[in-house]
Amino acid sequence: MPTDAAAHGRSPGRTFADARSLAPVVREVFGTGRRIAGVERLRGGSKKGVYRVVLDDATSAVVYLWSADEDYWSGLLPAGHDDPANPFSHASGLDLLEGATRRLAAVGARAPRLLFTDRGRGLYPADVAVAEDVRGGTLQDLLELDPAAGRRTLGRLAGALRLMHAHRAPAFGRVAWLDGGGAPTGDSCERGYLERALVNLSTAVAHDPRAAAAESALTDRLHTLHAGVEPRAGLGVVHGELGPEHVLVGPDGEPVLIDVEGLLYADPEVEHCWLRMRFDSRYEALRDPGLDPRRLAFYQYAMHLDLVGGPLRIAAGDFPGRRWILDVADHHLRQALAYRA
């Protein structure tokens, strides 16, 4: 499976931040005595801008920006994407980042610490957050460069996930929405993922003749797997798309989760389906023997369909990693067509 959207470049017609435009933010956070020595737009995101700002004393911070120019999904999302009560609404925004960061800290895990937030649009024409710059690189890189250190961080990640998944959630839904007093949709976690998979299957059918030809079989398999899931109580805190590239390594080797706006109260099996896909042979260190195999089978199949429909949707725009994202869709369509629970 392709894993790196390193081809992200600058799309024509989009405006990105630079040292001049970020200077008011830096003055507000760090004072007038500090100057920007460099700005680097970090690669990989499709929903917000992420910039490393290096100051003249060699310290640094990360700036998140939420604007239409930074969001490659703009205009490409299905109905309901902007409903905050929808667990699968567009996982982007300052409110979601703040809520997720608080919840992770409360359960004993962590994201980069927020140093400053601003919604006023006076410092920059977008919502802004400034966070600590965790400079230890990603867990993905550490596992390659220093396997022993990587295994230690992987073990600590397993512990953080146990704390997250053991938290008893109030209902299925977006963490920031429910923690903020929002009403749940009333759907179960499995029903929510069924409906999402059906939407993404429709997108796949409209864009790929292989999916169109197999639509009936793909739909029947999805419903069969869903029917095998028995109701149960108990949801945990789930990142939802957790791979080794979404874990930074803190100063003492602790795992620091990023891209956390999509944090959900959901079945832990959702997390483990992603972990199995993204950690591959290293997943064993994260395995939870208490998971429900029927839930794992259903969510895994639903995710294959999601990872066809979602990529095909964003590929219809000017996303600069289009070839990479189409490869993701192709990989997961082949997985769905060949799926055996």
Q: Where are the domains of the chain?
A: 19-132, 139-337
Question: Does 215 have pLDDT greater than 60?
Answer: yes
Question: Does 313 have pLDDT greater than 90?
Answer: no
SS3 percent helix, strand, coil of the chain, rounded to 5, is 45, 15, 40
pLDDT tens-digit series, residues 124-134: 999 999 999 99
Question: Does 8 have pLDDT greater than 60?
Answer: no
Distance CA 227, CA 248 (A): 38
How much is the pLDDT for 74?
A: 61
pLDDT tens-digit series, residues 239-273: 999 999 999 999 999 999 999 999 999 999 999 99
Strand order of the sheet with strand 114-118?
Answer: 36-41, 49-55, 60-66, 127-132, 114-118
Round the average pLDDT of the chain to a whole number and report it.
90
Question: Does 318 have pLDDT greater than 50?
Answer: yes
Model confidence at 298, in pLDDT bands (50, 70, 90)? Answer: very high
CB atoms within 10 A of CB 334: 13
* 281-294 average pLDDT score: 96
How much is the pLDDT for 50?
A: 92
How much is the pLDDT for 202?
A: 95
Distance CA 76, CA 4 (A): 22
Question: Does 5 have pLDDT greater than 50?
Answer: no
* 192-197 average pLDDT score: 96
How much is the pLDDT for 317?
A: 73
How much is the pLDDT for 73?
A: 54
The three-state secondary structure class of 249 is strand
pLDDT tens-digit series, residues 56-102: 999 999 999 998 778 765 665 566 666 888 898 876 889 999 999 99
Considering only CA atoms, which of 239, 278, 236, 268 is closest in space to residue 256?
Answer: 239
Question: Does 117 have pLDDT greater than 90?
Answer: yes
* Percent of the residues in the chain that have a pLDDT greater than 90, as a whole number: 77
Considering only CA atoms, which of 270, 219, 265 is closest in space to residue 242?
Answer: 270
* 13-26 average pLDDT score: 90
CATH architecture of 139-337: Alpha-Beta Complex (3.90)
- Pair of tokens at residue 277: 């896909």
Considering only CA atoms, which of 19, 259, 17, 23 is closest in space to residue 126?
Answer: 17
pLDDT tens-digit series, residues 157-184: 999 999 999 999 989 999 999 999 999 9
Q: What sign results for the dihedral spanned by CA atoms 35, 40, 44, 48? A: positive
Distance CA 225, CA 202 (A): 18
- CATH number for the domain formed by residue range(s) 19-132: 3.30.200.20
pLDDT tens-digit series, residues 118-154: 999 999 999 999 999 999 999 999 999 999 999 999 9
